[in-house]
Structure 1
Amino acid sequence: MKIKINQKQKKDLLELEKWFDLELVKLRKRQLEILKKYDKRKSLLLQSKVLKNITDLKDYYA
């Protein structure tokens, strides 16, 4: 089924499509920021665990 639209409707649809694309880009940027923060926290947690294990080993063999 084909729907006929006039030029104004076509223009409005294109503007709406651009708006959705821009919103999607904003959401993806936000998602990337959140993932970077999560990765940083996770890596810091792992680093602290490794440092604790190293100090525990030093204490054990001291």
Structure 2
Amino acid sequence: MDVEASVEPVWEVLREVERRPEWAPTVTSVRRLDDGPLAVGSRVRVAQPRIAPTEYVVTEHA
């Protein structure tokens, strides 16, 4: 997908992972499993139809 925007506003949207279901139709919910800003080591649980909930860990962060 191409987005005609600078990095800063795009990152503002993407780092709010709990809002992913608003723009990703394959995601029904995202729940942070820790507090604080999104960073290396942050964990989230993602739910999608017909797929078991999956835990994701941030391994790299720009």
Which one has a larger percent helix, Structure 1 or Structure 2?
1
Report which of the two structures shows the higher radius of gyration computed on alpha carbons.
Answer: 1
For this structure pair, what is the TM-score category when the shorter chain's length is used for normalisation?
under 0.3
Q: TM-score, normalised by structure 1?
A: 0.25
What is the TM-score of this pair, normalised by structure 2?
A: 0.25
Query: Which has more strand, going by share of residues?
Result: 2
